[in-house]
Amino acid sequence: MIILMMGAQGTGKGTVAGLISESTGIMQLSTGDVFRKNIKEQTPLGVEANKYISKGELVPDDITVPMVVGFLDSDMAKNGVILDGFPRTLEQAEKLDEILAQRGKKVDLVVNLTTPREEIIERILTRRVCSNQNCKTTYNIKLNPPKVEGICDKCGAELVQREDDSSEEAVNKRLETYELKTAPLVEYYAKKGVLRNEEVSARINRMGKEVAQDIIKDLR
């Protein structure tokens, strides 16, 4: 099964995808995590990707697409994949359809998460992530704080703030980029009949955990 996670930054795509992955065994691929790992290790991919990410811009297809294709062809994706952060443009969506068709596969479900803009900004600025790359658990110091300040509950590693999460200006730039280039994908997948819209917001008391549980029930 091929599942896509859509939604602006801060809507909880990674949280929902992770919960679905844990329950179903379908491997999760977060392009953001891959980019951050490469940036930290200063690989050629990381250096190039950081030129765009640091400015709140999308990483070009010639960097992103080969990485995704490599994952789709790996043993890790043999039982399916949950793509978190890809595709982000219509061009990428069409390219993904082409790649999957060549392998006799297709996108089975697209989960589109929505959250009020002001809530997104607050979530991102107060988000912290486990520095252990084998854990990567996400916290929010207001909504979902760790038991011990600055320490991951699961593995005890230090919690850090992503560089691209620390500036409200950068966050707004990312949201504008999303609305311009990624939001049109909602219509694209709606026409294909695979789109599922879910609101994740404190104002309706429905967070990522509840959304993930409902999706998991429907997948069984």
Active-site amino acid positions: 13, 88, 127, 162, 174
Compute CA distances 20 → 10, 89, 166, 194, whole Å. Answer: 18, 24, 28, 17
Cβ atoms within 10 Å of 184's Cβ, excluding its own:
12
Residue matched to tokens 């311009």: 180
Enclosing H/E stretch for 33: helix 31-41
- Give the orientation angle of helix 168-177 with respect to helix 117-125, to 10 degrees: 130
Q: Are 59 and 52 spatial neighbours (Cβ–Cβ below 8 Å)?
A: yes
Residue 11 · residue 84 · CB < 8 Å = no
- Contacts of residue 163, defined as CB under 8 A and 6 or more positions apart, other chains included, come to 54
CB atoms within 10 A of CB 117: 12
Residue position matching structure tokens 């890790």: 76
